[in-house]
């Protein structure tokens, strides 16, 4: 959970509408359990999207309130973030908009790899951290040992680590009080004149009956229903600089409804500086209010342009961060346009997706069997699964997703046989395997490498090390966390990690190990491109890259699977594999 606290600059009329959490009644609240609203989250019991909610809290220490605040309450704006590494972008985005975060550790399992990752992000961003152990109710919880281990690893004062249980409602009050004491209120802009509106879109989604709904944070000024507003992004500022600014009609709107998220929506009619809430803006196209955009008032837009803007603008960040790529095809060939429209809407809400339509309208061609499709970049394998399920749940669109691939760096070497033109670069990163060098070229291939950090009970150390070796890992080292857990560091080709590392690691450690990864550049490798052909036609989406030593084995597995799954026809279907230029059956 990440949390933000700030002083309540609001009159009592708003307080009446907001349920208050005092020390006496917080136990009666069930609402905060309902933040995981997507059906994929409920089915799988995981969080995939960050979601926000606000509450009033009456601190024990009333000295925490500012002199102007005579209400006795603080308003806490909280964001719940996913834990799985594939949704790390949600964590990064959330950390940028809060002043502090509660870092939760499992009192039974101890430190997990993704917690290390979040800790490092929070330190880089400068977020205040409140450490807490949860699940202390479990019979095998080890609060003392885990507290000592994390205080040594992260430098927290062991006495300040809070003990809690979400299930038994233990220690919730202590967390709220620690947040109120330690997390500072948001810093307002230096040039805040108290009236000029600057709000940032934190999230937005499309609802068929209401159109685009935004989750906003008011950075300065206020917004009220009926206000004429404008959504602007980075390109707006660029155009303004080149004096070509023209606010398009599409990004102007009249604010239809505004309110707070508690976590059910409560219409308040206005939002003031420092508050977080929802806004229904009457836009129909979700792309017009992308997360990171700024909302300004039409009346003061020229003034606002000369004022400070928040650092965080997300657009453009994501493309470099896709971990793997797959091509996505509709189940029925005629549904390609519907697929495109569904993916457009989903990509607004899932900013980790990178949608490519490079080769004309059809994006990527799956040949006679898969038909046209889109090439999409994902954050990891779970992300691919969640994407597929969200398409089905939220857009009733069943899609075929080909096995994901990573990107490769190709360095061309001088060759008389080369058909490359002089102005073509000698180095390129490709994620589309149809751009693999043609035969006759001389080239070196570099594959992406990641630093992997596995945290596992020491009982499974042998299995973990064997798995790392099997995945072509190198530079392995170990570090002791406590009597029970070790950290294993290694460098592993990313292509080996994305395929089945997660499942195999969980299997060989009875589900106890966790891992995270850090980009470590590219390394030269002996790789082959393996092409699958059906009746002589290459099926692009089935092409894969394999280490030379495994290529033959992996090709046979794919052919065998194809033989089992392709529908029986009256004619003979020839399945062939071509590895580099060498062909075999
Ligand atoms: N015994 C016990 N179980 C808990 C406690 N908190 C959560 N759980 C269980 O742990 C599982 C995961 O809980 P979540 O609250 O979904 O965990 P999370 O950290 O939000 O997970 P993600 O958001 O997917 O990263 C569920 O089965 C919960 O019932 C606790 O304090 N005690
Ligand atoms: Mg969760």
Q: What is the pLDDT along the chain (585 residues), one digit of tens a residue?
A: 333 333 333 333 334 444 444 444 444 444 445 678 888 888 888 899 888 889 888 999 888 888 888 888 888 899 999 988 888 888 888 888 888 999 999 999 899 888 888 899 899 888 999 999 999 999 999 999 999 999 999 999 999 999 999 989 899 999 999 999 999 888 888 888 888 999 999 888 888 788 889 999 999 999 999 999 988 877 776 666 555 555 555 578 889 999 999 888 889 999 988 889 999 987 877 777 888 888 999 888 888 878 888 876 554 444 446 788 888 988 887 888 899 989 988 888 887 888 876 444 445 566 666 778 888 989 888 899 999 999 999 889 999 888 888 889 999 888 777 777 777 778 888 877 888 888 778 889 999 999 999 999 999 999 999 999 999 999 999 999 888 899 999 999 998 898 789 889 999 998 889 998 888 999 999 888 888 888 888 777 788 888 888 888 888 888 888 888 777 766 667 777 777 543 333
Ligand 1 pocket, residue 555 CB under 6 Å: no
Ligand 1 pocket, residue 92 CB under 6 Å: no
- Structural domain count, the chain: 5
Same domain, 46 and 114: yes
Same domain, 395 and 485: no
CATH of the domain at 54: 3.40.50.300
Same domain, 474 and 394: no
Same domain, 453 and 509: yes
The answer to the question of residue 191 being in a domain is: no
58 burial class (0-12, 13-18, 19+ CB within 10 angstroms)?
Answer: middle
The answer to the question of residue 189 being in a domain is: no
Q: What Cα–Cα distance (Å) separates residue 120 from each residue in 8, 104, 117? A: 31, 14, 5
Cα 82–chain centre separation:
8
CB of 342 within 8 A of CB of 397? Answer: yes
Ligand 1 pocket, residue 112 CB under 6 Å: no
The answer to the question of residue 240 being in a domain is: yes
CATH of the domain at 446: 3.30.70.240
Same domain, 126 and 36: yes
Of all ligands present, the nearest one to the C-alpha of 134 is: 1
Ligand 1 centre and the CA of 99: distance in Å? 24
Give the whole-angstrom CA distance, residue 428 versus residue 412.
9
- The residue whose C-alpha atom lies closest to atom 10 belonging to ligand 1 is 135
The answer to the question of residue 215 being in a domain is: yes
CATH of the domain at 274: 2.40.30.10
The answer to the question of residue 452 being in a domain is: yes
Report the candidate in 69, 77, 76, 78 with the shortest Cα–Cα distance to residue 12. Answer: 69
- The residue whose C-alpha atom lies closest to atom 2 belonging to ligand 1 is 135
Q: CA-based angle 365:366:370, to the nearest 5?
A: 135
CATH of the domain at 554: 3.30.70.2570
Ligand 2 centre and the CA of 46: distance in Å? 6
Give the whole-angstrom CA distance, residue 376 versus residue 322.
9
The tokens describing 84, both together, are 């799985």
Ligand 1 pocket, residue 351 CB under 6 Å: no
Give the whole-angstrom CA distance, residue 493 versus residue 523.
8
The answer to the question of residue 187 being in a domain is: no
The answer to the question of residue 190 being in a domain is: no
The Cβ of residue 327 has, within 10 Å, a number of other Cβ atoms equal to: 25
The Cβ of residue 206 has, within 10 Å, a number of other Cβ atoms equal to: 20
Same domain, 216 and 128: no
Q: Considering 371, 401, 431, which residue would you say is the last residue of a domain?
A: 401
Ligand 1 atom closest to Cα of residue 104:
19
- The residue whose C-alpha atom lies closest to atom 29 belonging to ligand 1 is 167
Same domain, 58 and 174: yes
Q: Which domain holds residue 108?
A: 2-182
Omega into 263 within 30° of 0, i.e. cis? yes
CB of 341 within 8 A of CB of 197? Answer: no
Same domain, 327 and 365: yes
Q: Tokens 């194809």, residue?
A: 562
Q: Considering 350, 373, 401, which residue would you say is the last residue of a domain?
A: 401
């Amino acid at each position: 959970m990440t949390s933000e606290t700030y002083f309540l600059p609001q009159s009592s009329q708003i307080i009446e509408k907001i349920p208050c959490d005092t020390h006496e009644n917080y136990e009666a609240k069930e609402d905060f359990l309902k933040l995981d609203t997507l059906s994929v989250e409920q089915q799988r019991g995981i969080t995939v999207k960050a979601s926000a909610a606000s509450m009033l809290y009456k601190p024990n220490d009333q000295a925490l309130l500012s002199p102007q605040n005579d209400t006795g309450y603080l308003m806490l704006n909280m964001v719940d973030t996913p834990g799985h590494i594939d949704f790390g972008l949600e964590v990064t985005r959330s950390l940028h908009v809060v002043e502090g975060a509660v870092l939760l550790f499992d009192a039974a399992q101890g430190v997990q790899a993704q917690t290390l990752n979040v800790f490092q992000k929070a330190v880089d961003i400068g977020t205040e951290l409140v450490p807490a152990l949860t699940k202390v109710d479990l019979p095998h919880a080890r609060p003392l040992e885990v507290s000592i281990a994390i205080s040594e690893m992260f430098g927290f004062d062991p006495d300040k680590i809070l003990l809690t249980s979400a299930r038994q409602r233990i220690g919730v009050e202590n967390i709220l009080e620690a947040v109120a004491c330690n997390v500072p209120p948001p810093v307002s802009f230096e040039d805040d004149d108290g009236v000029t509106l600057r709000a940032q879109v934190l999230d937005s989604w499309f609802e068929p009956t209401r159109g685009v709904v935004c989750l906003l944070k008011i950075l300065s000024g206020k917004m009220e229903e009926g206000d004429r507003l404008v959504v602007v992004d980075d390109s707006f500022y660029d155009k303004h600089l080149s004096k070509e600014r023209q606010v398009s009609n599409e990004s102007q709107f009249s604010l239809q409804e505004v309110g707070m998220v508690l976590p059910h929506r409560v219409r308040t009619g206005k939002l003031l500086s420092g508050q977080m809430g929802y806004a229904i803006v009457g836009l129909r196209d979700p792309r017009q209010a992308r997360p990171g955009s700024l909302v300004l008032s039409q009346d003061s837009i020229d003034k606002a342009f000369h004022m400070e803007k928040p650092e965080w603008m997300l657009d453009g960040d994501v493309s470099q961060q896709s971990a793997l790529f797959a091509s996505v095809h509709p189940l029925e060939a005629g549904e390609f346009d519907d697929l495109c429209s569904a993916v457009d809407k989903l990509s607004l809400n899932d900013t980790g997706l990178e949608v490519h339509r490079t080769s004309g309208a059809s994006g990527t061609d799956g040949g006679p069997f898969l038909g046209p499709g889109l090439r999409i970049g994902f954050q990891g394998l779970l992300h691919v699964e969640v994407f597929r399920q969200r398409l089905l749940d939220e857009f009733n669109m069943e899609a075929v997703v080909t096995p994901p691939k990573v990107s490769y760096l190709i360095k061309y070497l001088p060759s008389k046989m080369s058909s490359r033109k002089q102005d073509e670069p000698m180095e390129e990163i490709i994620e589309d395997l149809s751009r693999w060098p043609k035969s006759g070229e001389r080239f070196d291939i570099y594959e992406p490498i990641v630093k992997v950090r596995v945290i596992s009970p020491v009982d499974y150390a042998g299995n973990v090390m064997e798995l790392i070796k099997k995945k072509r890992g190198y530079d392995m080292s170990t570090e002791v966390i406590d009597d029970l857990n070790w950290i294993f560091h290694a460098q592993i080709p990313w292509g080996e990690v994305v395929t089945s590392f997660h499942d195999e690691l969980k299997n060989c450690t009875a589900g106890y190990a966790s891992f995270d990864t850090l980009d470590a550049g590219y390394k030269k490798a002996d790789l082959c491109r393996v092409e699958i052909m059906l009746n002589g036609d290459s099926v692009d989406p089935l092409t894969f890259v394999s280490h030379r030593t495994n290529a033959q084995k992996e090709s046979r597995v794919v052919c065998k699977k194809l033989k089992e799954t392709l529908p029986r026809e009256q004619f003979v279907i020839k399945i062939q594999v071509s590895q580099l230029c060498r062909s075999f059956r």
